[in-house]
Chain A
Amino acid sequence: MPMLAAALLSMACGVWLGLVRIGWNLPLPWQDQLGAHGPLMVCGFLGTLISLERAVALGARWGYAAPVLVGLGAISLDLGPLVSVPSSSPVLVTAGSVVVVAIFAVVSWRQPSLFLLTMGLGAVAWVVGNAQWLAGASIYRVVFWWLAFLVLTIAGERLELNRVLRPTAATQAAFALAALLVLAGVAIEVRWPEAGVRVVGVGLVALTAWLAFHDVARRTVRQHGVTRFMAVCLLGGYAWLGVGGAIALVFAPTVPGTLYDAVLHTVFLGFVMSMVFAHAPVIFPAIIGVALPFRRTFYLHAGLLHVSVFLRSVGDLSDKLGQWRARGAMLSAIALLLFLFNTVLSITRRPGGAR
């Protein structure tokens, strides 16, 4: 619970800073913290949640060092200068991410497989990004490593589920190639930024094609209730992954700007956040032991998220419609609030309350 609170606080702070960065005139409690937007969203919010998920899965006490360290790093980012050691968060987050890699080493030892390797390599990419952040690198040099972390984590999960369809060796090889392209891209980007971002773009487009063609969501979208909701979120997210990949491939934005904004937010908001929405109904029972019964109103926050990412992307890509960027960002923030609202409503309105 405290770790979940750290993650949610990071999301709130991160979204607030994001809105200020994009031009909304909101108050800032202290100066020089705008750069914390990315670390808060990727490490503070998603990093804490993913570490927590891995620790729960491992089931051993030492595994909880990961979410505790990352969560403490998140809190120190949230509170900024209020905590005494200003540079402590990169240290804590990096240490926590190393524990996540160790968790993957242990579970892969239990049952080696391509999907665990993919997720484990995603965690390694997180460590590499965090280490550069710790060494003082600019966020735009680190962020593609973080992108690889989230994309490979999610792609690995989808490959795991794909086993119910008995994938052939060729299907698995195609997946491995796409995942390797993403990793190769972030590695190349260290030395040759433009070429690296283009390779990442090719990898993202290849992964999108794989997911669109092989993922079970294509079949489960014909089901009803929560199964269909999840499939709709998944397929919508894949579309944004493809858009982000295509922009990276064509324009290769390596430094902050509108196209850079478009790549990062189609992937992080359009793809990753859509995955979060999709999995919330099954992940909440696992992490906090509370059921999250599906309600049709879940489509409201999911739909709003996709509309908001569309507006932002149009604003990013078109000079004339540049104002859409900030409006889209505000709508994304509202979609996240609505997601939290719907989640709380679903838990509290349940007959019998908590399990």
Chain B
Amino acid sequence: VYRVEIDGPRVRVEMTMTSPACPLGDYLKDLVRSAIRSSAPDAQDVAVTFVWEPRWNADMMSEDARRQLGAGR
């Protein structure tokens, strides 16, 4: 997730995916929207957009993701 902008009940999220050819995009957007609505019920207008710059790289992974994939440092 690159950017989160909150303006009253409006939430704008900019995020990327590991691959622009991945079909899970809409599904991930849905998950993000429902995660925001469940933790912030006042958010009425949630917009999630994908951006491709900067490119995703392995340094952006969380420690937890790294551990799950056995990727190490």
Q: Which of A54, A116, A165 has the most CB of B within 10 A?
A: A165
Chain B's interface: helix, strand, loop or mixed, by majority? Answer: loop
Nearest B residue (CB) for A103: B21
Is A280 located at the chain interface by the 8 A CB criterion? no
Q: How far is the CA of A207 from the CA of B55 in the complex (A)?
A: 27
Q: Are A54 and B68 in contact (CB under 8 A)?
A: no
Chain A residues, CB < 8 A from B52: 110-111
Candidates B18, B23, B70; contact of A56 at CB < 8 Å: B23
Candidates A57, A216, A285; contact of B21 at CB < 8 Å: A57
Q: Are A164 and B71 in contact (CB under 8 A)?
A: yes
Q: How far is the CB of A116 from chain B (nearest CB, A)?
A: 6
Chain A residues, CB < 8 A from B70: 216, 219-220, 222
Q: Are B58 and A166 in contact (CB under 8 A)?
A: yes
Candidates B24, B25, B68; contact of A282 at CB < 8 Å: B24
Q: Are A160 and B18 in contact (CB under 8 A)?
A: yes
Chain A residues, CB < 8 A from B4: none
Chain A residues, CB < 8 A from B25: 56-57, 59, 286
Chain B residues, CB < 8 A from A146: none
Q: Are B21 and A116 in contact (CB under 8 A)?
A: yes
Is A314 located at the chain interface by the 8 A CB criterion? no
Q: Are A163 and B18 in contact (CB under 8 A)?
A: yes
Chain A count of residues within 8 A CB distance of the other chain: 31
Q: How far is the CB of B47 from chain A (nearest CB, A)?
A: 15
Q: How far is the CA of A336 from the CA of B39 in the complex (A)?
A: 41
Q: Are A164 and B19 in contact (CB under 8 A)?
A: no
Chain A's interface: helix, strand, loop or mixed, by majority? Answer: helix
Q: Are B22 and A57 in contact (CB under 8 A)?
A: yes
Q: How far is the CA of A165 from the CA of B57 in the complex (A)?
A: 10
Near B by CB (< 8 A), chain A positions 121-178 give 160-161, 163-166
**In the complex, per-residue mask of B39-55: 1 if CB is within 8 Å of any chain A CB, else 0:** 00000000000001001
Chain B residues, CB < 8 A from A111: 19-20, 52, 55
Is B26 located at the chain interface by the 8 A CB criterion? yes
Chain A residues, CB < 8 A from B27: 285-286, 289
Q: Are A223 and B21 in contact (CB under 8 A)?
A: no
Nearest A residue (CB) for B17: A57
Q: Are A286 and B26 in contact (CB under 8 A)?
A: yes
Chain A residues, CB < 8 A from B68: 220, 223, 227
Q: Are A104 and B21 in contact (CB under 8 A)?
A: yes
Q: How far is the CB of A147 from chain B (nearest CB, A)?
A: 21
Q: How far is the CB of B61 from chain A (nearest CB, A)?
A: 6
Q: How far is the CA of A59 from the CA of B20 in the complex (A)?
A: 10
Chain A residues, CB < 8 A from B18: 160-161, 163
Jot down 9 A-B pairs with beta carbons below 8 A, ordered by A.
A56-B23, A57-B22, A107-B20, A111-B19, A119-B21, A216-B70, A219-B69, A286-B23, A286-B25
Report which B residues bind A (CB closer than 8 A): 18-27, 30, 52, 55, 57-58, 61, 65-66, 68-71
